[in-house]
Amino acid sequence: MKEQINQGNLPQHIAVIMDGNGRWAKQQGAARIFGHKNAIKAVREATEGCAELGVSCLTLYAFSTENWSRPKQEVQGLMTLLVATINDEVPTLMKNNVSLHSIGDISQLPEKAQKKLQEAIDKTAKNDGLKLILALNYSGKWDLTHAMQALALEVEKGVLRADAVDHEQIEKHLSTYGFPDPELLIRTSGEMRISNFLLWQMAYTELFFTPVLWPDFRKEHLHEAIVSYQKRERRFGKISEQVNLG
């Protein structure tokens, strides 16, 4: 599949909903956290695959605002795993010239997780290759609500007129400001929904669903998704003839 990729038509921002860890663990007769632990290789493969191709941004949906409702033991295990993984993967990020970023309400994460995350962000800040964005304690509705609250406060203070709130103003207050909107979303495990992820940003994102469970995801699956993306015509509300005229 890699040989079929057109380097001149790469999606510059790929978003991934990493689904299927629990089902993968169940197939092995193990606890759900076992699936999360074995998903680290998939994260590394996706990151290295994007870096090798020259993709600008990769956003991974690591932990949603809804995930707090999972069993307490699983949530605690995920937080412990998050700290360990961030700590262990910094050398790999440095080797691949990857800078780490995050979106979401990080303040609600355990203090140790916040500290390790910030340390990794600071250490990789000067890397100018792939931007790896972790969506942690994130949801699309949270992002939009947070943006609306910030805009309402500016209107209330007289900093901004209500009739000046437009498309650009909303985007400036989203947690993804400064990053391009994703052109390709990959969701593993066969589920076909976007699960409250990047709701504003994915208005024209191409969606790719694969039955592969996330712990089994490898570079060849990334390449397959990109090849599928490149076969599509992106019209953004226009008709084919307009797109083909440039």
Q: Of the listed 9, 19, 38, 105, which one is catalytic?
A: 19
66 and 140 in contact (C-beta within 8 Å)? no
Give the Cα separation of 209 and 225 in Å (integer): 8
Q: By CB neighbour count within 10 A (0-12 exposed, 13-18 middle, 19+ buried), where does 230 fall?
A: middle
Residue 244 bears catalytic tag: no
Q: Of the listed 6, 9, 38, 67, which one is catalytic?
A: 67
Say which residue the tokens 């290759």 belong to.
129
HEC readout, 4-38: HCCHHHCCCEEEEECCCHHHHHHHCCCCHHHHHHC
Token pair in block for residue 196:
């409250």
Give the Cα separation of 58 and 146 in Å (integer): 23
Q: Which of 35, 142, 121, 46 is nearest to 78 (CA)?
A: 35
Residue 67 bears catalytic tag: yes
Active site residues: 19, 67
